[in-house]
A and B are shown apart, each in its own frame.
Chain A
Amino acid sequence: MLASLLRILTLIHKELLVILKDPKSRASLVLPPILQCLIFGYAATYDLNTVPYALVDLDRSATSRELVSKLEGSGIFRRQTTLAQIGQAVTLLNTQKVVLVVVIERDFERQLAGGGKAAVQVIADGRNSNTSGVALGYANTIIADFANDWRSRQGLSGPVVEVTSRAWFNPQLETRWTMIPSLIGTITMMMTMMLTAMSVAREREEGTFDQLLVAPFTPTEIMIGKAVPSMIVGIVQSSAILIVALFWFQIPFAGSLATLSLGLALFLAAAIGFGLFLSSLASNMQQAMILCFVFLMPFMLLSGLMSPVDNMPEVLQYATVINPLKYAISITRRVYLEGAHLTEMLPDMLALVAIAAVTMPVSAWMFRHRLN
């Protein structure tokens, strides 16, 4: 038992030396994750801070001007240009100079006062339906507010319902808050899975793997000796990203650090288990790399990182059962932002344990029993 433990420590020591020896490879383990976290933290956002728009005011009344100043007073809507007719707006939208064209129809003031159809037309560029959806939402809210104000000023009765809204866990609804915690799992998975798979494949290619098998190591010891260093690297990387999230982006941490750490450790075990499994399928580094790539892609897409898993077709939702990243994103978001407790996260954690419990022994067995 002790001998076995010492052998495992030997393997871990060797593996860490190989990984950390070269300053370039040392840097490549920490810098890219932080860099990716920063870039994606800023880039991966659905929020719109400004909406460039074109105004077509066909009414030219005091009320229409009031509406416009309400729009622009929000600080979000920036008028690019004012047009005399809708026809001119086409080019602006086509060339993406503006996101929206707001058309205040003729007779707006009169209809508003007279109880008729006071119409505002909002035309959005749907090439990116997400951006346009957000911009339309802003416009709708402001115009509804304006109508409510107008009515109360006029002392009009009738059903006026005010929707007060609150967002828990992310009051300003910033995409960044959603994205960065998810990136902890995404980035570390990319790195650790590759690292694990490639390190085994490199040993196979260079023949040192045979050397390990001939030495008194058991496959389980080799497996642990490969998994633990990747685990350490993964822990360092996820901590680095966590620090960026906490102190650079200043996203408040709502949950317990212990729960998050446990969740991430289990996730790393599952991801590394997958990496080991892929490496036992590959006979050289090229194959290992391509296998990782082929698996990482759907893992990332079907994880909830970009769109909720619940929105996916049922068949694909079943396929996400084996996706460690799905559980990691659920754990990081819920623990980090919502402050979910350990008991609530148990189903996700058990799933990760199950993934690791299958992939790790299978890959250890494959080390020795792989054909050729």
Chain B
Amino acid sequence: MSASEAALVATDVRKTFVRNTGEVVEALAGVSLQVERGALTALVGPDGAGKTTLLRLASGLVVPDSGSLDVIGIDVTRFPQQVQDKISYMPQRFGLYEDLSVQENLDLYADLHGVPQVERNEVYPRLFGMTQLGRFKERPAGKLSGGMKQKLGLACTLVRSPQLLLLDEPTVGVDPLSRRELWEIVFQLVKDGLSVIVSTSYLDEAERCERAVLMHAGRILAEGRPNEITASAKGCCFLVRAPDGMPARSLQARLFGLPDIADAVPEAGRVRVVRRSSAAPPPFELDGKSLEAEAVEPRFEDAFMLLFDAIAGDQRRESHAGIAGQASVNEETVVEVRDLVRMFGNFTAVDHVSFKVRRGEVYGLLGPNGAGKSTTFKMLCGLLPATSGTLHVAGENLLTAGAKARQRLGYVAQKFSLYGQLTVDENLEFFASAYGLRGSSRRERIKALKEQFELDRFSELPSGQLPGGFKQRLALAAALLHQPEILFLDEATTGADPLARRQFWGRITGLSERGVTVIVTTHFMEEAEYCDRIIILDAGKNLAEGTPLDIRAHAETDRDKAPTMEQAFIAIVEKQRRKDKEGGA
């Protein structure tokens, strides 16, 4: 492949940024890369790997410190406009004009790209067909759901045929249904001959690309076809069954903490384990008892985790310390929701939802964007009054309950709401005092949590400048200071990389063992596997409730014997939507 045929050629590209604190961050530390034309290439890696910086450099928005970067055969550092004339770029947060309608946003980009009317007549129906936004042409972009916004952003970049399409984490915060639809569009484009570079933290997405580039700390770790990369984990992957009475997540947490294991995640009631080495595996053992294990084919994620374990493996162990592996669920109901309804004008956001959560349970609220998860959550936390129905959290309705009742719960909001100007210590001190901790008990509690969450080295850093994963840790630490009985976590892992998510869930597992009731919402369907029970909501209605295994069984068909959680979820939501449509017709 010669350079002129390549979509992107990077030679020893370096870029550093200076934080407000004066700290110098090396975003790209000498990246050399060739991306071929006509292919779908994925950039994967944890937070701070340099994916976004690389894409911004490629689109001429940021100038490299050194090295050369050719995009579609043009030196982008010297001629950014020439590149920008020919490529399309969809940033992580696509800047749609929220006051403008779907059609107007699209028209704007068509005008800017100089797409003639004749071409539009042909392109628009195709874009509307692909994105299914045709019905919402007149709706202001600000009123679209997260998934629809992303699709509109993509459509705006596709009003003309670019020579190269750059997508920066296009599916962050997008529910599985919209995610699948977005990817169908991308695959179609590649099939039509478009070159696409996409950065993502979803490893199943990377697995489906033609090439994958694994980045870490501004460097390229591995590059190749996903199946080649996957093959490196051959012989390392097993499904391990938990002993009776032990939740899969507890076993997962224990195994994940073991030194010879690179990765462990719960899957269908069992635990998927990746060992560090494929050489002569000894039998799995836990507390002296051997465990039933079954060798399985590796996935891309397994190989990814194996690779990262090799360089950053020891970072993760601490989050999984002290997990015993007992279930601590008892029969006492701590959260009870009956016939909950919430209307916004004529729109029913939550439609007669009922569920119960027992003490010590990990309970998941799942659903597409706009399903009513957040609304339910807000009502549970007493942030929003219910239109009708009853809510009891630890026996009280939090909207009217006094300080005492709220003392018993912890809440981590979607955006890890912290005081960005205040340091880590100041944030923790504030939240500790807010919950009535004083003096030495406060000091000790803060010290303990800082150790547990490895926040010590950031004590004096303003929390707004924390790296993404640490913001989430701090938010969780702040919510745990007062040792709440019930913990509410609203999409606490959105945008987090796979490693951070595992650490997060390790901590949740530890909490639930100590009898803390945890209620979570999430977009990552595989995270549902950590839950004892989940409820799936769509359009405000309860579609299914049960253990992850029960839910999977819903979607089992003759054709597909072992659906993933995500497939099950999509199947359940689509079945209901079909039913509604028939009912409506």
Hey, which bits of chain A sit against chain B, CB under 8 A? Answer: 3-4, 6-7, 10-11, 13-14, 17-18, 21-22, 206-208, 210-218, 368-369, 372
Contact = CB atoms under 8 A, between A and B. Distances in A.
B422 A21 contact: yes
Given A21-B421, A206-B420, A210-B417, 17 more contacts: A3-B403, A4-B403, A7-B436, A11-B434, A14-B426, A17-B421, A17-B422, A18-B422, A206-B417, A208-B417, A210-B378, A210-B413, A211-B413, A212-B434, A213-B383, A214-B406, A217-B434
Contacts of A213: 381-383
6 contacts: A13-B430, A17-B422, A21-B462, A213-B381, A214-B409, A216-B407
B419 A18 contact: yes
B411 A210 contact: yes
Given A6-B438, A213-B382, A22 B421 contact: yes
A216 B434 contact: yes
Contacts of B433: 6-7, 10, 13
Nearest to B385: A369
Interface in B410-437: 411, 413-415, 417-422, 426, 430-431, 433-436
B578 interface: no
B436 A3 contact: yes
Nearest to B416: A207
B431 A215 contact: yes
A223 to B, nearest CB: 15
Contacts of B409: 214
Contacts, number: 82
B430 A214 contact: no
B405 to A, nearest CB: 8
A21 B419 CA distance: 12
Contacts of B414: 207
Contact of A214 (B383, B385, B419, B421): B383
B142 to A, nearest CB: 12
A214 B404 contact: no
B436 A216 contact: yes
Interface in B340-384: 344, 378, 381-383
Q: How large is the interface on B (under 10, 10 to 19, 20 to 34, 35 or more residues)?
A: 20 to 34
Contact of A218 (B403, B415, B438): B403
A11 B430 CA distance: 8
Nearest to B432: A10
Nearest to A371: B344
Given A18-B419, A18-B421, A215 B426 contact: no
A212 B417 CA distance: 10
Nearest to B415: A207
Contact of A17 (B415, B426, B435, B488): B426
Given A3-B436, A17-B422, A211 B417 contact: yes
9 pairs of A and B residues whose beta carbons are closest in the complex = A216-B403, A207-B417, A10-B433, A214-B411, A208-B417, A14-B430, A215-B434, A207-B415, A207-B413
Interface of A, helix, strand, loop or mixed by DSSP: helix
Interface string B453-466: 00000000010000
Contacts of A216: 402-404, 406-407, 434-436
A75 B381 CA distance: 75
A369 B419 CA distance: 23
A22 B465 CA distance: 14
Contacts of A210: 378, 381, 383, 411, 413, 417
Contacts of B438: 6
A210 B430 CA distance: 15
Nearest to B398: A214
Q: Which of B398, B404, B414, B436 has the largest number of chain A CB atoms within 10 A?
A: B436
Contacts of B406: 214-216
A212 B406 CA distance: 11
Interface of B: 344, 378, 381-383, 385, 398-399, 402-404, 406-407, 409, 411, 413-415, 417-422, 426, 430-431, 433-436, 438, 462, 488
A181 B70 CA distance: 65
A26 B383 CA distance: 33
B44 to A, nearest CB: 29
Contacts of A4: 403
B421 to A, nearest CB: 5
Contacts of B407: 216
Nearest to A212: B434
Contacts of B430: 10, 13-14, 17
A290 B265 CA distance: 50
A217 B434 CA distance: 7
Nearest to B399: A368
A184 B398 CA distance: 43
A208 B422 CA distance: 12
Nearest to B434: A215
Nearest to A215: B434
A216 B431 CA distance: 10
A67 B248 CA distance: 108
A212 B426 CA distance: 15
A369 B406 CA distance: 17
A368 to B, nearest CB: 8
A208 B419 contact: yes
A217 B403 contact: yes
B413 A10 contact: no
Nearest to B401: A216
Given A13-B430, A214-B406, A216-B406, A208 B436 contact: no
B420 A14 contact: no
B310 to A, nearest CB: 37
Contacts of B398: 214
A295 to B, nearest CB: 24
Given A214-B382, A215-B406, A215-B431, A14 B417 contact: no
Contacts of A7: 403, 433-434, 436
Nearest to B404: A216
B382 A206 contact: no
A206 B419 CA distance: 8
Given A10-B434, A207-B414, A207-B417, A214 B422 contact: no
B427 to A, nearest CB: 9
A215 B344 CA distance: 26
A222 to B, nearest CB: 11
Nearest to A209: B417
B288 to A, nearest CB: 44
Nearest to A217: B434
Contacts of A17: 421-422, 426, 430
- Residue among B430, B438, B488 with the most chain A CB within 10 A? B430
Nearest to A214: B411
A99 B493 CA distance: 72
A216 B418 CA distance: 17
A215 B433 CA distance: 10
B173 to A, nearest CB: 15
Nearest to B414: A207
Question: Which residue among A3, A17, A215, A369 has the maximum number of chain B CB atoms within 10 Å of its CB?
Answer: A215
Contacts of B434: 7, 10-11, 212, 215-217
Contacts of B381: 210, 213-214
Nearest to B423: A21
Nearest to B475: A211
A211 B410 CA distance: 9
Nearest to A369: B385
Nearest to A208: B417
A11 B418 CA distance: 14
B403 A208 contact: no
Contacts of A369: 385
Contacts of B415: 206-207
B385 to A, nearest CB: 8
A217 B382 CA distance: 12
Contacts of A13: 430, 433
Contacts of B462: 21
A90 to B, nearest CB: 54
A211 B403 CA distance: 13
A290 B383 CA distance: 26
Contacts of B383: 210, 213-214
Q: Which of B404, B426, B434, B488 has the most CB of A within 10 A?
A: B434
